[in-house]
Amino acid sequence: MFTSISSFLGWKEEEPVIQSYPPVTIVGVRIPADGTPAHLLPLTTISDSSAPDSFLLHVPDLRSHWVSEQAWRLRDLHRFDLQKDGRVPLSQHLQQADDLKNLLRQPQHLSRERMLHLRQRYLVPQQRFFVQQHNHYHYCLGAYYVFYSFAVDDLPVNKFVPRWIEENNDVHLTHRYFGDVFVVKISQDEVGQDGRAAYEDVDPLFLDFLVDDAACSKTLIPLLHLREEQKMIGGPNIF
């Protein structure tokens, strides 16, 4: 939520210069604002540094769906993880541990761009859910990012995002979405060899998962943020 407000008011740090990467086409989910059923669609990525998602280094190009350039600029994201148990995935744990070590050992040697990306990555609202029918929905397990616009003057309110997705447990409020909402999946390793986000195609069964009341009766698991890990070990407040 804070990232959305700060972006809207112009309270942004200097934007990093993002290297231009070759586009990648993935399969994501579109939840239309007009109430038509959610569906899969191809999405092609673009390198962009104009919003709180620049830590991914390339993001789905949604400009054609959001009408105006302002709606594209006024975008944000949040994350949810679908898990069969309460364990933090090893890849995520190792990445958090490595980032924390770098921050505590030599924070002065981290570039401004790297510091901005770390803040973005770990301050993104995140939730974890148990998937009760994880055997049936095995291919739905994993990490997802929800991309949405908060351009209130350009796009209609989207009232068709499942409630379990829109709930923002960080501040006990719900996200508000304008225009079509998009869900993309991150691969298990999350980051590719070139340092940018590694996406994978959303499985078609995810569309059933969205509307399956039994599957969506999930148990929320509190997320351990990097900031909370700091407090546990008595590290300095770098945020």
Nearest to 15 by CA among 60, 47, 50: 50
List pLDDT tens digits, range 180-192. Answer: 999 999 998 888 8
- Neighbouring C-beta atoms of residue 193, cutoff 10 Å: 7
- Between 229 and 184, the more confident residue is 184
List pLDDT tens digits, range 120-138. Answer: 777 788 888 888 777 888 9
Nearest to 105 by CA among 226, 235, 225, 224: 235
**How far, CA to CA in Å, does 147 sit from each of 185, 226, 231?**
11, 22, 30
List pLDDT tens digits, range 21-38. Answer: 889 999 999 999 999 999
Per-domain boundaries in the chain = 2-233
What proportion of the chain, given as a percentage, has pLDDT over 70? 74
CA distance 17 to 32: 32
Q: Cβ neighbours of residue 209 under 8 Å, at least 6 residues apart?
A: 131, 137, 140, 215, 216
The average pLDDT across 223-239 equals 40
The average pLDDT across 191-204 equals 89
